[in-house]
Amino acid sequence: MVLVIGPRLSAAGGVAITGVDLAAPLAAEPKARILDAFRDHHIVVFPDQALTREQQYGFARNFGEVEPSGQAGSKRHAVAHVISNLDKDGNPVDRSASPVGNYRWHTDKSWHSVPPLLTMLHAIELPPAGGDTEFANTVMAYAALAEQTKRRIAGLQVVFRWGSSGGNSIAATRNEPPVDHPLVRTHPETGSKALYLGNHASHIRGMPEAEGAAVLGELLEHATRRQFVYAHRWRKNDLVMWDNRCLLHRAVANYDMGKYRRVMHRSVVKGTVPF
Ligand SMILES: [Fe+2]
């Protein structure tokens, strides 16, 4: 097999890599090329990967410590976990209206003090059309800001809290303390500055809450303009991994969620404290 890195999928990022079997252990050379592509394009698509949940976990281990999907030591610990639109009886359910759902722009687990480096999804069952995932490049969005805005937001800290967005505290059903992260974070590998915000970003430390929420709202609108977005249209057995440090993402509710099944396997690799 010869690993092939395709052309960039959009101005905002993304690249497809073929000629590699992710179910097998990864040799040093393909691993280095995948890491380089991930650094340069932020979203890597591996089409036609047949992987068990255990094999996906094994692939994710190449990039760091994988967050457990169950209790430590449990049978389901070292596997990718299942995300779907199915209820406990296996029937499709429309949850797109949930204010804490994946349909709002977010970066994974931003309310954690050490949010993840990357997330990967493997497409198992898809609706006949739709069910896309969109990614917004927050390095490009930061770079496009006016110098005056860059100066105004330099050094600001965002208060992240699960279930809290834009100053509207909703369904605070999780008793987790808020955490502060820099609004402008530095990518640890490239040194690029990126906006860090989205759902679960509540307000700005030291600013009246409504004012901070308004600043976050304006920046989110800017960061998710079409020119900064790559929309991934899934095919069965795509594995997509993305960089949570410089991207926002959301699931798109563009299929009949009450009718069609959408099942993905997810792995999350631990990151470092944003700076
Ligand atoms: Fe997500």
The CA 159 to ligand 1 mean position distance, Å, reads 19
Residue 82 backbone zone (phi > 0: left; psi -120 to 50: alpha; other: beta): beta
Using the structure block, give the residue that is written with the tokens 């204010």: 99
The CA 108 to ligand 1 mean position distance, Å, reads 5
Name 31's Cβ contacts closer than 8 Å, sequence gap at least 6: 62
| Residue 93: predicted pLDDT | 92
The CA 250 to ligand 1 mean position distance, Å, reads 6
pTM, 2 dp:
0.94
Pick from 201, 195, 233, 231: nearest CA to 214: 201
CB 51 within 8 A of CB 23: yes
Question: What is the C-alpha separation between 50 and 123, in angstroms, rounded?
Answer: 10
The CA 147 to ligand 1 mean position distance, Å, reads 30
Question: What is the C-alpha separation between 32 and 39, in angstroms, rounded?
Answer: 11
| Residue 167: predicted pLDDT | 47
The CA 83 to ligand 1 mean position distance, Å, reads 11
The CA 268 to ligand 1 mean position distance, Å, reads 10
Question: What is the C-alpha separation between 248 and 138, in angstroms, rounded?
Answer: 7
First to last CA, the chain: 39
Q: pLDDT tens digits, residue range 212-263?
A: 999 999 999 999 999 999 999 999 999 999 999 999 999 999 999 999 999 9
Question: What is the C-alpha separation between 262 and 240, in angstroms, rounded?
Answer: 15
Mean pLDDT, each 10-residue run in order, the chain (275 residues): 96 98 97 98 98 97 89 70 92 83 91 97 97 98 98 97 66 75 98 96 95 96 98 98 98 93 96 98
The CA 133 to ligand 1 mean position distance, Å, reads 9
The CA 107 to ligand 1 mean position distance, Å, reads 6
Question: What is the C-alpha separation between 175 and 187, in angstroms, rounded?
Answer: 30
The CA 121 to ligand 1 mean position distance, Å, reads 10
The CA 24 to ligand 1 mean position distance, Å, reads 26
At 171, list the tokens. 């369904």
- The phi, psi pair for 180, rounded to 5°, reads -100, 135
